[in-house]
C-alpha cells in the first residue's frame, strides 16, 4: 500500500514539475513578439513607396523591405525554437545579424533620401520616417547585448517611442489619407 501511495505522489509531483517547466520554457519573451509585430507591419508600409519613389532609391527601399523580412524571419525562427524547446544561441545571433544589416541598409536609405527629389513629397517623407522609427523601436526592444555590437542606434534614427506594429499601420493610414497613390492597410 505504501509503495502505491509513494508512486502516486511521485507521479503527481513529476506531472506538476513537468507542467510548470513546460509553461515556463514555452514563454516567448515579449521583446520577440513586439519586434516581430513591428517588422511584420512595416514591410507592407515600406513596400507602398517602391513604385513611386525616385528610381535610384527603389533598390535601397527594397533592401530595407528585405531587411525587415529577415529580422521577422529570424524572430519567428527563435519563437518557434522556444516553443519546441530547441532555442540556441545561434538563433539569437541570427536576429542580431539580421538587425545589423537592416540598420545599415536603413541608414543608407535615409542618407540617400535627403538628396533625392522624393524628399519634397510629404507623404513619402512620412513613410520614410515610419521606416526609421520602426528600426529605432525594434532596437529598443532587443536585449541590450544584441545592440552593443552595433553601438547605439545611429544618430539619424529617431528616438524610440515604444510603438507596437499596429501603431505604425494607424500612423501610415492617417498619413496617406486623401492621397490616391496609396491604399489603406
Q: How does pLDDT run across 115-170, given as a tens digit for each residue?
A: 888 888 999 999 999 999 999 999 989 888 777 766 555 667 888 898 999 999 99
Q: Is residue 65 part of a domain?
A: yes
> Which stretch of DSSP H or E encloses residue 85?
none
Per-residue pLDDT tens over the stretch 47-106: 999 989 999 999 999 999 999 999 999 999 999 999 999 999 999 999 999 999 999 999
Residue-number span of the structural domain to which 95 is assigned = 30-176
**pTM score, two decimals?**
0.82
Q: List the grid coordinates of 140.
A: 529598443
Per-residue pLDDT tens over the stretch 15-62: 333 323 333 456 899 999 999 999 999 999 999 999 899 999 999 999
Q: Is residue 37 part of a domain?
A: yes
Q: How far does CA 148 lie from the centroid of its chain? A: 17
Q: Is residue 9 part of a domain?
A: no
Number of domains the chain is built from:
1
The answer to whether the beta carbons of residues 61 and 116 sit under 8 Å apart is: no
Closest CA relative to residue 141, chosen from 130, 153, 129: 153
The answer to whether the beta carbons of residues 39 and 134 sit under 8 Å apart is: yes
Which pLDDT score is estimated for 23? Answer: 34
* Cβ-proximal residues to 123 (8 Å cutoff; 6+ apart), any chain: 175, 176, 179, 181, 182
Amino acid at each position: 500500500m505504501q509503495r502505491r501511495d509513494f508512486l502516486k505522489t511521485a507521479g503527481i509531483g513529476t506531472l506538476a514539475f513537468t507542467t510548470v517547466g513546460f509553461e515556463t520554457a514555452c514563454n516567448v519573451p515579449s521583446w520577440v513578439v513586439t519586434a516581430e509585430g513591428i517588422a511584420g507591419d512595416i514591410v507592407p508600409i515600406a513596400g507602398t513607396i517602391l513604385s513611386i519613389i525616385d528610381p535610384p532609391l527603389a533598390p535601397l527601399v527594397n533592401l530595407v523591405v528585405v531587411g525587415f523580412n529577415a529580422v521577422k524571419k529570424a524572430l519567428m525562427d527563435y519563437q518557434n525554437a522556444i516553443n519546441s524547446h530547441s532555442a540556441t544561441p545561434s538563433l539569437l545571433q541570427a536576429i542580431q545579424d539580421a538587425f545589423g544589416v537592416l540598420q545599415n541598409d536603413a541608414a543608407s536609405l535615409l542618407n540617400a533620401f535627403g538628396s533625392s527629389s522624393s524628399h519634397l513629397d510629404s507623404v513619402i517623407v512620412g513613410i520614410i520616417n515610419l521606416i526609421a522609427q520602426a528600426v529605432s523601436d525594434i532596437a529598443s526592444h532587443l536585449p541590450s547585448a544584441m545592440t552593443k555590437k552595433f553601438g547605439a542606434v545611429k544618430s539619424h534614427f529617431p528616438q524610440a517611442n515604444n510603438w507596437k506594429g499596429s501603431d505604425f499601420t494607424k500612423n501610415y493610414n492617417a498619413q496617406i489619407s486623401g492621397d490616391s497613390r496609396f491604399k489603406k492597410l
